[in-house]
């Protein structure tokens, strides 16, 4: 348990700026309430965290408040807003040049909740540091600073203090979310005022235990017929189940792992059924398969050599966000502070970031004792963070199973399989052989209607 005894006085001075955005380039007048702004955190507010806040389209005075953390680390909250769960998305088919057009997303989570999309950690999206020292961050510091952000934001928006509060996000934020919930829980217990009305947390395709997550790629590959059963059994035997840190003097293990690498190294890890956007030969993953596949957009390649890419790639869609967010009129509409950001990136892979927490399983073990509600969902075609690893760490919690792997439906069709535990719900999408039904990393981008149905029912305490 990590407790930060922050004096209450630190929250008495709210270094924040906020503006209501009524129109956006590429769309026009907005039919919902959008607020953007900065909240300063740190002893001298040396870290300025940018956010997009969208009020619930149903009943903002009653509906839950969700703080959304995008993964990476270093991926902007706008990525989740535009490509996953927000009320706007890009109208790809209507683009003819200039500012990419936007259209309404009929499956926006803002239909049932108010959502804060934060650019965190520092250096992400439009967030910035006032000093070089303040630009250095880590898992631990990110959780601490996001907690400070949330307290300051709520003190500046006191009408949301009584709303049910959920912390949500996907991918790498699966590490930060339970750490942040622990900060909130500890703060409430030691008497930070006002208390935060935290009810639970939501994680999609979550990084949780780096070794368990990455080590699960080999058994996942066998389950998805990406490697033969013979190669899997040989690798399992020769490597004794250790694929991330094998004994390098074990020639048989190293040979098997290289064969596995040859089979899966050229795949698109976010969704194994989609093309991999690489014009060069696939790089060997080596033997320690890192987290890099989670945030690489290959934007330079997309901008410089689009004709060489061949088949459609999902990264084409991401390119629209770079054009849109770097446009001067867009930044003026969002009230971005001039001179604070040279170039906006959907995912900033050059952060000064220390990965100082390798597993957050102990956080989950502690938080479930407090009775918080938890929703975990994964994609069946996700090789970056396979559902196999997610199931493994949840199983390690030794929770009581209330309902095991039952199908649930949206519009009369099987949308997924769910297991219900005491205070814990894990969801893994139905595996379909048809690519149009596949679910990757991360799930709402691939299955927006199903994910919206899942969230709406879960927030309302309805069974899936």
Question: Other C-beta atoms within 10 Å of 7: how many?
Answer: 8
The Cα 157–Cα 336 span in angstroms is 20
Whether pLDDT at 253 is above 80? yes
**How is residue 404 written in tokens?**
């095991």
pLDDT band (50, 70, 90) for residue 426: low
pLDDT of residue 276: 84
Closest CA to 181 of 67, 339, 92, 64: 67
Residue 163 to residue 157: CA distance in whole angstroms: 11
Find the catalytic residue in 382, 419, 427, 428: 382
- Main-chain dihedrals φ then ψ at residue 401, nearest 5 degrees: -85, 125
Q: What is the 3-state secondary structure (H, E, C) of 106-153?
A: CCCHHHCCEEEEECCCCCCCCCEECCCHHHEEEHHHHHHHHHHHHHHH
Find out whether 293 and 384 touch, Cβ atoms under 8 Å: yes
Is 441 catalytic? The answer is yes
- 229-260 burial, b at 16+ Cβ within 10 Å, e below that, comes to eebbebbbebbeeebbebeeeeeebbebbeeb
pLDDT single digits (tens) 60-94: 999 999 999 999 999 999 999 999 999 999 999 89
Mean pLDDT value of segment 97-109: 97
- Which comes out higher in pLDDT, residue 113 or 290? 113
Q: Which tokens in the block code for residue 64?
A: 């839950």
More confident residue, 354 or 414: 354
Position 243 confidence tier, pLDDT thresholds 50, 70, 90: very high
Catalytic residue from among 171, 216, 315, 321: 171
In three-state secondary structure terms, 283 is coil
Nearest to 377 by CA among 113, 174, 112: 174
Alpha carbon distances (Å) from 301 to 95, 120, 304, 309: 20, 26, 5, 9
| 241/228 Cα distance (integer angstroms) | 16
* Range scoring the smallest mean pLDDT among 281-285, 423-427, 446-450: 281-285
Domain definitions of the chain by residue range: 1-211+317-464, 212-294
Q: Which CATH number fits domain 1-211+317-464: 1.10.150.20, 3.40.50.1820, 3.40.1280.10, 3.50.50.60?
A: 3.40.50.1820
What is the spatial distance between Cα 216 and Cα 269, in angstroms, rounded to a whole number?
13
More confident residue, 274 or 208: 208
List the one residue out of 341, 349, 323 whose CA is nearest residue 48. 341
Peptide bond into 73 cis (omega under 30): yes
Three-state DSSP at 87 gives coil
Residue with tokens 């952060």: 351
Selected catalytic residue, list 192, 364, 427, 441: 441
């Amino acid at each position: 348990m990590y407790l930060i005894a922050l004096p209450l006085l630190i929250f008495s001075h709210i270094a924040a700026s906020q503006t209501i955005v009524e129109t956006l380039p590429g769309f026009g007048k907005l039919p919902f309430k959008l607020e953007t702004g900065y909240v300063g955190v740190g002893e001298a507010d040396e870290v300025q965290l940018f956010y997009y806040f969208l009020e619930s389209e149903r009943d903002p005075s009653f509906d839950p408040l969700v703080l959304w953390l995008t993964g990476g680390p270093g991926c902007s909250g706008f990525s989740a807003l535009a490509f996953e769960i927000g009320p706007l998305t890009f109208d790809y088919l209507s683009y003819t040049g200039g500012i990419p057009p936007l259209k309404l997303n009929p499956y926006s989570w803002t239909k049932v909740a108010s959502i804060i999309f934060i650019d965190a950690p520092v250096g992400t999206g439009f967030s910035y540091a006032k000093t070089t020292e303040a630009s250095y961050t880590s898992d631990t510091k990110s959780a601490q600073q996001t907690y400070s952000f949330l307290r300051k934001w709520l003190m500046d928006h006191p009408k949301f203090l009584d709303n049910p509060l959920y912390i949500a996000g996907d991918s790498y934020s699966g590490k930060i979310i339970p750490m942040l919930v622990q900060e909130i829980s500890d703060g409430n217990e030691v008497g930070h005022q006002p208390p935060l009305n935290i009810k639970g947390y939501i994680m999609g395709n979550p990084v949780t235990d780096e070794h368990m997550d990455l080590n699960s790629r080999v058994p996942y590959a066998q389950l998805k017929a990406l490697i033969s059963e013979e190669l899997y059994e040989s690798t399992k035997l020769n490597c004794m189940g250790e694929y991330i840190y094998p004994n390098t003097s074990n020639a048989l293990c190293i040979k098997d792992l290289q064969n596995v690498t040859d089979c899966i190294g050229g795949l698109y890890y976010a969704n194994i059924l989609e093309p991999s956007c690489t014009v060069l030969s696939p790089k060997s993953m080596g033997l320690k398969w890192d987290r890099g596949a989670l945030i690489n957009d290959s934007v330079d390649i997309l901008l410089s050599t689009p004709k060489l890419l061949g088949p459609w790639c999902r990264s084409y869609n991401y390119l629209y966000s770079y054009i849109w967010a770097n446009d001067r009129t867009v930044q003026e509409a969002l009230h971005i502070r001039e001179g604070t950001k040279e170039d906006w990136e959907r995912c900033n892979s050059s952060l000064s970031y220390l990965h100082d927490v390798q597993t957050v399983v102990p956080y989950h073990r502690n938080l479930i004792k407090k009775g918080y509600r938890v929703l975990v969902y994964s994609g069946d075609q996700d090789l970056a963070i396979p559902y196999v690893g997610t199931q493994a760490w949840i199983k390690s919690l030794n929770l009581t199973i209330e309902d095991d792997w039952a199908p649930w439906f949206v519009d009369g069709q099987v949308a997924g399989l769910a297991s219900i535990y005491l205070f814990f719900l894990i969801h893994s999408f139905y595996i379909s052989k048809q690519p149009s039904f596949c679910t990757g990393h991360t799930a709402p981008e691939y299955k927006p209607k199903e994910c919206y149905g899942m969230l709406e029912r879960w927030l309302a305490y309805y069974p899936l």
